[in-house]
Amino acid sequence: MATVGFIYPDHAAEDDYPLAERLLGDGTRLPVEHIYGTDLHAVAELLDLGSPERLAEGASLLAKHDPTAVVWACTSGSFVYGWDGAADQVAQLSEAAGGLPASSTSFAFVRAATALGLRRVAVAASYPDDVAKLFVEFLDRGGIEVVSMSAADIDTAAEVGELPPEEVVELVVSRDHPDAEALLVPDTAMRTLALVETIETRLGKPVLTANQVTVWEGLRLAGAARAVDGLGTLFRTKDEGR
């Protein structure tokens, strides 16, 4: 079975990955290894967090799992580099991982939205406004129009990881927009995997969350994508481009 390795910054919502592994239930392995830096949602700190040296360290830690593909499981630590910089980041990660297919959560959002045929979305960001705007710019470069963006102005990933489920649901649902075809939730520090189905039912539209799209992207890279219940519309949709 496929093994997809994830490089995760610090600690917050990494338990979403073993949950996804259990929901897949087919022997696919989703090991997580951690790299460490300041978990502040600020541009300088995020650029340091996603640096080639840190990601090379993560790739080295994942090597013992013999992964089929590797993914940088961090949205802000990838889109903060801009589209071209994030592409370079992924290329360098692939090289550090011995040429394995590689990606990041930011590209996962664009590819997942494209797979669902989405062009107009709302964004429910946990970040401060200046960081959240960089995600909007990244999506625009990927051909995804953001009709509404809300920033919760939470300073650190640790704070996001401590949000109780009911607060996560309300934070996300309250930031929908009637013109949006879907709602995007860009923070791998937020526990969302167990809540995606609930939020989609409340909104009546697809919801893409950071850890959800990161797992989906890793499976796509590994050639192991398949339909599975419990992980939202994205995992129930056949993507011919996978």
Q: 87-96, 102-111, 123-132, 138-147: which has the minimum mean pLDDT?
A: 123-132
User: How does pLDDT run across 15-36, given as a tens digit for each residue?
Assistant: 999 999 999 999 999 999 999 9
Say yes or no: do domains 4-108+211-236 and 116-206 share a fold.
yes
Cα torsion through 43, 46, 47, 51, rounded to 10:
180
Average pLDDT rounded to a whole number, residues 119-140: 95
Mean pLDDT of the chain: 94
**What pLDDT is stored for residue 237 in this prediction?**
79
**What pLDDT is stored for residue 242 in this prediction?**
39
Average pLDDT rounded to a whole number, residues 237-241: 56
Judged against a pLDDT cut of 80, whether residue 70 lies above it is answered with yes
**What pLDDT is stored for residue 238 in this prediction?**
62
User: Would you place residue 37 in the very low, low, confident or very high pLDDT band (cuts 50, 70, 90)?
Assistant: confident
Nearest to 213 by CA among 59, 73, 77: 73
**What pLDDT is stored for residue 164 in this prediction?**
93
Q: Does domain 116-206 have CATH number 3.40.50.12500?
A: yes
Contact between 179 and 148 under an 8 Å Cβ cutoff? The reply is yes
What are the extents of the domains in the chain?
4-108+211-236, 116-206
**What pLDDT is stored for residue 239 in this prediction?**
54
Judged against a pLDDT cut of 80, whether residue 40 lies above it is answered with no
Average pLDDT rounded to a whole number, residues 126-152: 95
**What pLDDT is stored for residue 79 in this prediction?**
97
**What pLDDT is stored for residue 36 in this prediction?**
92
How is the beta sheet containing 207-209 ordered, strand by strand? 145-151, 120-125, 182-185, 207-209
User: Would you place residue 132 in the very low, low, confident or very high pLDDT band (cuts 50, 70, 90)?
Assistant: very high
The CATH architecture of the domain made up of 4-108+211-236 is 3-Layer(aba) Sandwich (3.40)
Nearest to 178 by CA among 138, 120, 116, 126: 120
Q: In angstroms, how far is CA 89 from the centroid of its own chain? A: 15
Q: How far apart are CA 221 and CA 46, in angstroms?
A: 25
**What pLDDT is stored for residue 191 in this prediction?**
95
Judged against a pLDDT cut of 60, whether residue 241 lies above it is answered with no
